[in-house]
């Protein structure tokens, strides 16, 4: 019997706050439904400075979400999917093959030993630049390094491999310094501010429901209803202040600018390195092209 009494007491203790919460939720739901269904319902106005800050916060929140989505597309495939140690080993292996082939070609060995050294490892990460590198190196050996096109493809493939490796470095940097922090921002301060906004809406609905009850209350219950309105007003002011504090922390934080600056620096480093590599490659390809054009025209004339 004592156990049953203790059990019922525990149920009663746990049920009271739960029932109170459910009651508040139902009150808020009824008030919201009334506002949606009726056009002349009187509602408590939110402060103008709150509304202005809310507009700025919402724009910041949406911008962060869209920026994160774009950034995830930008790092294709995402750097987080790579085993960076495996990448380094693969790139080192490919570079060694390229160097071996280059040495053999310089020594005048254009036979099977040189050609067999430049086949790109199929495990090289799948950037577009690495795809160009694999194809160019494979067909350079099939065409022959002694042939102008084979030589040009070899040079092109060697440089594209380096450009692709630079792209992987940039992707990894963007993942660590931009995508990850944006995700943390959405899960952290922005989510907290969003919760604060929901609390403001809930408090406003509770307040308006209390006002409605007060207006329709009989004289006997007017004092209790007035007290409920005053309590709801105090809570309403409190949650507005808290929500504004949280939204202001998001809107005024320099973190977005820090992340944008780092993102631009990562892009700049990659494009600068790629530009330098391609600037060295372009005149070499041009020289091979001009020479081959001259030989081709001379043969055609004869």
Domain map of the chain by residue range?
A: 80-169
Q: What is the average pLDDT value for the chain, to the nearest integer?
A: 81
User: What does the alpha-carbon distance between residue 29 and residue 206 come to, in Å, rounded to a whole number?
Assistant: 9
Which of 167, 135, 173, 168 is closest to 154 using CA atoms? 135
User: What does the alpha-carbon distance between residue 130 and residue 123 come to, in Å, rounded to a whole number?
Assistant: 10
Written as six digits, the tokens of 143 are: 């065409």
pLDDT level of residue 116 (50, 70, 90 thresholds): very low
Neighbours of 230 (CB within 10 A): 13
User: What does the alpha-carbon distance between residue 96 and residue 79 come to, in Å, rounded to a whole number?
Assistant: 24
Q: List, in order, residues 6 or more apart from 33 with CB less than 8 Å away.
A: none
pLDDT level of residue 197 (50, 70, 90 thresholds): very high
Q: List, in order, residues 6 or more apart from 289 with CB less than 8 Å away.
A: 152
pLDDT level of residue 50 (50, 70, 90 thresholds): very high
User: What does the alpha-carbon distance between residue 211 and residue 65 come to, in Å, rounded to a whole number?
Assistant: 38
Neighbours of 280 (CB within 10 A): 11
Q: By the 8 A CB rule, do 127 and 164 touch?
A: yes
What average pLDDT does the segment 97-122 reach?
Answer: 50
pLDDT for the residue 100:
63
What average pLDDT does the segment 255-269 reach?
Answer: 97
pLDDT level of residue 300 (50, 70, 90 thresholds): low
């Amino acid at each position: 019997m004592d156990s049953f009494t203790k059990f019922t007491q525990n149920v009663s203790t746990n049920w009271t706050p739960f029932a109170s919460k459910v009651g508040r939720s139902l009150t808020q739901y009824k008030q919201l439904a009334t506002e949606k269904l009726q056009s002349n319902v009187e509602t408590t106005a939110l402060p103008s400075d709150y509304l202005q800050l809310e507009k700025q916060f919402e724009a910041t929140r949406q911008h962060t979400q869209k920026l994160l989505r774009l950034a995830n597309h930008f790092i294709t495939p995402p750097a987080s999917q790579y085993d960076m140690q495996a990448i380094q080993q693969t790139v080192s292996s490919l570079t060694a093959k390229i160097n071996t082939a280059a040495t053999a070609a310089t020594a005048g060995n254009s036979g099977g030993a040189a050609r067999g050294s430049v086949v790109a490892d199929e495990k090289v990460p799948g950037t577009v630049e690495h795809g160009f590198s694999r194809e160019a190196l494979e067909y350079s050996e099939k065409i022959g390094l002694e042939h102008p096109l084979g030589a040009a493809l070899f040079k092109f493939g060697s440089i594209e491999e380096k450009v692709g490796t630079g792209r992987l470095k940039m992707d990894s940097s963007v993942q660590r310094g931009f995508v990850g922090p944006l995700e943390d921002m959405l899960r952290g301060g922005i989510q907290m501010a969003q919760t604060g906004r929901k609390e403001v809406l809930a408090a406003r609905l509770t307040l308006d429901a209390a006002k409605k009850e007060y207006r329709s209350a009989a004289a006997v219950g007017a004092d209790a209803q007035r007290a409920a309105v005053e309590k709801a007003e105090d809570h309403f002011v409190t949650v507005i202040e808290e929500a504004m504090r949280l939204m202001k922390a998001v809107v005024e934080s320099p973190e977005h600018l820090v992340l944008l600056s780092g993102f631009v620096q990562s892009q700049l480093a990659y494009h600068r390195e790629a530009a330098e590599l391609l600037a060295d490659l372009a005149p070499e390809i041009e020289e091979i092209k001009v020479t081959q054009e001259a030989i081709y025209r001379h043969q055609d004339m004869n």
